[in-house]
Structure 1
Amino acid sequence: MNNDHINAHPLAIEVDNLECRYDERTVLRDVTFNVKRGEIFFVIGGSGCGKSTLLRHMIGLHTPAAGTVKFEGKDFTWADARERKALLRTFGVLYQSGALWSSMTLAENVSLPIELFTELTKKEREAIVRLKLAQVGLAGYEDYFPSEISGGMKKRAGLARALALDPSIVFFDEPSAGLDPITSLQLDELVLQIRETLGTTIVIVSHELASIYGIADRIIMLDRKTKGIIAEGDPRVLRDTSPDERVKDFLNRRGEPAGQKEERHA
């Protein structure tokens, strides 16, 4: 694993006493956890527990009511505009739908953050775009529009854009949503490949057990009623030993093809 681009701070992410609120409605409170460098870390839980809300507050789309988020030891939540812009370059985000601009080609989509955050020439940007699309298996698709490719390819293109600035951290919001099991497995394998080749820290919001058992190093589980974290650790260990029935029920759902993938990746 190549960790050259990651600084010496031992933790990639530190979330401390985060409170997430919409108007007067508190969704999450007192949320505290850390993510280690190079870790594949999942945020899991049932519908409405606040998984995507937590993600949006972590990446700055919403301001927390209280608490802090630090990236590589630096406060992101309450940073000034200059510091925040610098920290935005350290992470990428793959949104649930891919969030590609339909009127732009894949190359133009991937080029957007490079144009926004760097002063590279057009030729230099084009070289990076080709490299990033190749990294996700989309070499030769530079001039395609999002409407001309499959759902799985859109996710890959979105991932290429998230990787455009060589971030040390990448966030995924329900990456398997809308994908068939084979395509979902291929995306999981791509996540593993990116972590191994680039040393990237990965944070994934998901409820898919196949992916959780297949690639997660560690998880936190959120709960809608308590509005916080009710479990943290290795999902395989929690599945078998957690004293909390809510955790065991979630991690032992029937009908999920978790066993084969666990054996493949564990």
Structure 2
Amino acid sequence: MMQSIEQFFIEIGPVYAALIATTFTWLVTAAGASLVFFFKTLSRGVLDPMLGFTGGVMVAASFWSLLNPAIEMSEKMYPGYSWVPAAVGFLLGALFIYFLDRVTPHLHLNFGISETEGVKTKLHKTTLLILAITLHNIPEGLAVGVLFGAAATGMDGASVSAAIALAIGIGIQNFPEGIAVAMPLRRHGVSRKRSFWYGQLSAIVEPVAGVVGAIAVIYMQPILPFALAFAAGAMIFVVVEEVIPETQRDKYTDRSVLGFIGGFLIMMILDVSLG
């Protein structure tokens, strides 16, 4: 079954593969958001461990799916300096999200309106929440697209199966993200339909970022290890600056850590077994 799926992605090419894979991750976000049609609220005791799970998947993916392949590629492309692309790309990825974080008005989950980040704005809290998750999803889509693009070049350390594993992992952790956007909106009086709409809309950026990432590395192969590390740096910044703080603002911190461990383990197993 896995071989047939892998063959399908090889045959359609990296750009379409990235588009399909990131559309899948977007649809899983929508599936999570759809729970607002059945529930109005979700206990923080459930939501915080789910967010911790998200962080664990992202950290594991950053190393197993992105940084490690970047270093393996660099050993042949830049002999004697294999650490440079990973280090430079990682730093640039983190700085990229840092810049977006500073200039884009947004509000993290579980934070009060007075804790809005980015430039000052009068945007509604709903919009600020959506912008926060959209920032979160950019590096995820980029990571999937870059890895499909890298696999298409035949570079050591990258494979279509690894890209599929990454897409599956990102998809799994997108389910609680959809819940995490839609439920607070519903709790604040937004209708079920609008809560669902905004919840799924937060991940629409992933197919865009995925296609851009795949195209970029196909036509600029020397930047491949930099691009992989860039996506890793962007994801780690999001986890440390956004995901972890959101799980540490109530009494469920230990559950959140266990959720993080679970997410890390699942992504590691996916990447090692499938990639």
Same fold (TM > 0.5): no
Report the TM-score, using the length of structure 1 for normalisation: 0.31
Q: Which has the higher contact order (CA 8 A, sep 6+)?
A: 2
Q: Which has the higher helix share?
A: 2
